[in-house]
Amino acid sequence: MATFNIKPAEQCKWDGVALGEVMIRLDPVDVPFERARTCRIWHGGGEVNVAEGMAYVFRLRSTVLTAMVDDGFGRNIECQFKEAGVDTSHVIWFTPGGKGGKYVTDKKGTLMNGINATFRGKGVVPSKTEYYRAHSPVREIGAEDYDFDALFGKEGARWAHTGGIYSLLSPKTAETAIQYLKTAGKYGTMRSTDLNYRANVEPNKDRAREINKKIVPHVEFLVGNQSDFDDALGYTVDVPSNATMEQFLECYVTLLRKVAKDYPNLKLIGTQLRGAHSADRIDWGAVLYDVAEDKLYQAAIRRNIEIADRTGGGDSFASAIISALLKGKPLEEAVEWGAAHGILVQETPGDTTMVTQAMVEAEVKRGKKGGGVSALR
């Protein structure tokens, strides 16, 4: 069984740290964006969503490393972070119209906080996301802008997370992610990355693979689904089109063994399993592969589940796995937490979680039994 040398909580200021991008999200609810006249405002980012899940759901001490323009959008995101219990003391702020200094920008939007406009879809109408992130400030921040030695050495952190969206935004973010993970490892912090490949962020798969091959040697926990391993790392496996779940998992383990052999630093590989019937009805599961034991842990599969908003399921899967490990849970329980949190976040609007640990634990029990849902009165 994998051995996780997790630092004691009393020796660290932070249970979890996430390095990544954050964008404001415009949500037109049930109206396609072309015809929308009102929107709800959320926020999200593939990496920082993990820190938020750790803080809000599992009541762990988390902080985020990111950069924002100091305007209404940026402060709105900050307020949402604080409402969820996420520390923002490591955020780098760019001042619009500043008169000097390194972190200044103009007022015409040369640097701007990223915008994510997501229509959630319904039935046979698919969800649709449009991003505006080409001029986001986090692209301009390098490793020298953060004091990683102070963060991991003086303050102390038990877990450091990042991901494949942030690392592919610019050459600077790729190098920053590598240095971040290297420094975390130097101080004995557990590390993870989610491959999370997005063609809209980096359409050049060769470049994505080149960068991820430099990042994966510096983590203990790797998150990615079958397509991620191909798109982001170049691993493929043949799965029959009519394969059962059992046959798929057998093929998938073969792929994971190849990855683990090439990256002996890995202790754990995990992924969520999603099968879409429509925009708002899915099958959902999760697995964890213990490299040392060569064993696959599988959560209860949820079939034909109606969802409200598909965004954030994978991030919530990762945050629950990490939180379970930090709380000393065994792998068979951790994977159930990951699956439960991943489906629950899709039952509420926005990218980030709105549930509690008690709700996660209740969904684990319900998922195993396959039971219904009772009203809480």
The rounded distance, in Å, linking the Cα atoms of 97 and 108 is 9
pLDDT in tens, 58-75: 999 999 999 999 999 999
Determine the pLDDT at residue 371: 60
The pLDDT confidence band at residue 377, using thresholds 50, 70 and 90, is very low
Q: What are the residue ranges spanned by the domains of the chain? A: 9-369
Please state which of the ranges 90-94, 140-144, 214-218, 239-243 shows the lowest mean pLDDT: 239-243
User: Which secondary-structure segment (H or E) carries 16?
Assistant: strand 14-19
Determine the pLDDT at residue 372: 59
Mean pLDDT score, 303-331: 95
Q: What's the chain's average pLDDT?
A: 94
The pLDDT confidence band at residue 373, using thresholds 50, 70 and 90, is low
171 phi, psi to nearest 5 deg: -55, -35
Instruction: HSE, CB side, 13 Å, CA atoms: give it for residue 253.
Output: 16
In the predicted structure, residue 248 carries a pLDDT above the cut 90: no
The rounded distance, in Å, linking the Cα atoms of 214 and 210 is 7
The pLDDT confidence band at residue 242, using thresholds 50, 70 and 90, is confident
Determine the pLDDT at residue 375: 47
In the predicted structure, residue 332 carries a pLDDT above the cut 90: yes
Mind giving me the DSSP string for 330-365? -HHHHHHHHHHHHHHHTTSSSSS----HHHHHHHHH
In the predicted structure, residue 156 carries a pLDDT above the cut 50: yes
Mind giving me the DSSP string for 294-338? TEEEEPPPEEEEE-S--TTHHHHHHHHHHHHHHTT--HHHHHHHH
326 to each of 14, 139, 263, 280, 323, how far by Cα in Å? Answer: 11, 30, 23, 32, 5
Tokens of residue 265, six digits: 């630093």
In the predicted structure, residue 237 carries a pLDDT above the cut 90: no
Determine the pLDDT at residue 56: 98
Mean pLDDT score, 107-115: 94
pLDDT in tens, 183-199: 999 999 999 999 999 99
Say whether domain 9-369 belongs to CATH 3.40.1190.20.
Answer: yes
Mean pLDDT score, 246-273: 92
For the ranges 7-21, 88-102, 223-237, the one whose mean pLDDT is highest:
7-21
The pLDDT confidence band at residue 365, using thresholds 50, 70 and 90, is very high
In the predicted structure, residue 13 carries a pLDDT above the cut 50: yes
Mean pLDDT score, 14-30: 97
| pLDDT above 90 as % of the chain | 88
Mean pLDDT score, 87-91: 98
| pLDDT above 70 as % of the chain | 98
The rounded distance, in Å, linking the Cα atoms of 257 and 292 is 11
Determine the pLDDT at residue 178: 98
